[in-house]
Structure 1
Amino acid sequence: MKLSADLKALANRLGHEFDQPALLVQSITHASMSSTTRRDNQRLEFLGDRVLGLVMAEALLDRDPEASEGMLAPRYNALVRKETCADVARQIDLGVVLKLGRSEMLSGGRRKQALLGDAMEAVIAAVYLDAGFDAARDMVLRLWGDRIGAVKADARDAKTALQEWAQARGLPPPSYTETARSGPDHAPHFTILAALKNGQSEAATAGSKRQAEQAAAKALLKRLENDPHS
């Protein structure tokens, strides 16, 4: 199999020349385009997530030999979470080459965080299967670049930080309630209210429930930080 011009350009951005080009094609094929003769990227995504995890665990241990597990875990989570994978995917213009079904294309699938993150993990697996762990590690470290050194010691996501804030004060975990949904079915927007038992709450709107929950938690944390009585 020969790669098309756009996939050759992607391989160049990845810095990897594929001996098995079919792996790259599979890695960018969404389930909405799968068929009996065309495999989607879900199995590769599963594998790539594990390869990424090992690369990041090694990198963090090497970078900070004195860090405890408690310090390393939030940094690790920040580097492997779907949002970070999607950011790297945007960096290499992965969205423009995704093979999507019509419904996903119409719903803006090339820009969806979940699809981009999944595809990035699948690409990592494709390189791993094509050339082994060293090749995959080199590519990941190159693409993640300064993110590894810049990740904060306290790199918890907003929902985790808010839950820990509540637990430290004897409160139950925050609740997240969908209060509104707008937009067409193929491109909805969700409004989520993050609330604590002490009466504090904040709402946020985003293109997915997960993003809206994180945004609401972040807004509530900001309010709590600025409230001298909290």
Structure 2
Amino acid sequence: MIPETLICIVEDEIDLAQLVDDYLSANGYRTIQFQRGDDADLWLQSNRPDLILLDLMLPGIDGLQICKNQQHRHSTPIIMMTAKVEEIDRLLGLELGADDYICKPFSPREVVARVKAVLRRSAQQANPQVENDNAVILDEQSQIVSVFANNIELTTIEFKLFALLYAQPGRIFSREYILDNIYQDYRVVSDRTVDSHIKKLRKKLIVPDQQHELIRSVYGSGYKYEAP
């Protein structure tokens, strides 16, 4: 971790924001707090933190709007904090750009762990050499995926599905989002169809050491790609 790493905490519950702030500070991060969404959004227009911890329900403007606004500014990693479980699928969608979410009530230790994980993924995306020298490569023309120089042929649907996950390592995609964006007529397929294609992909995309799964399931949420 770089000592200068700045975390922006946007949370209207002052005690909760301070608790998270204390734990992050104890782990060497610099922090800045906002209790209002409009104040945070104004600050973000001219400042660029390394990560944003963003509450969903805020006075001024809500977290969803801040997330949308931030998409047009910088690719800053965002972890959404919410007590509204029904919003999770939306939070994880590409249209909002959230990198992760955490449900209230939560442990501040869990927040620190999520922050570290998201920052690590962000650093890997900024420096492709970290991702094992392009160990996994997609060839769109041939619909072939190369895993450590081992070429693997995929069906059209399998390739589209893997390409979606591969484009954003670590991001969790809900089954609903996959259905809406991969299948031409999602009305004739179901969650089980997605699960079936994921199962086939896992069998084909074997990492040589057998200890790393390229596609991981996140219980109750969906699937994500993790680079070797």
TM-score (normalizing by structure 1): 0.29
More strand by share: 2
Q: Which one has the bigger helix percentage?
A: 1
Question: Computing the radius of gyration over CA atoms, which structure comes out larger, 1 or 2?
Answer: 1
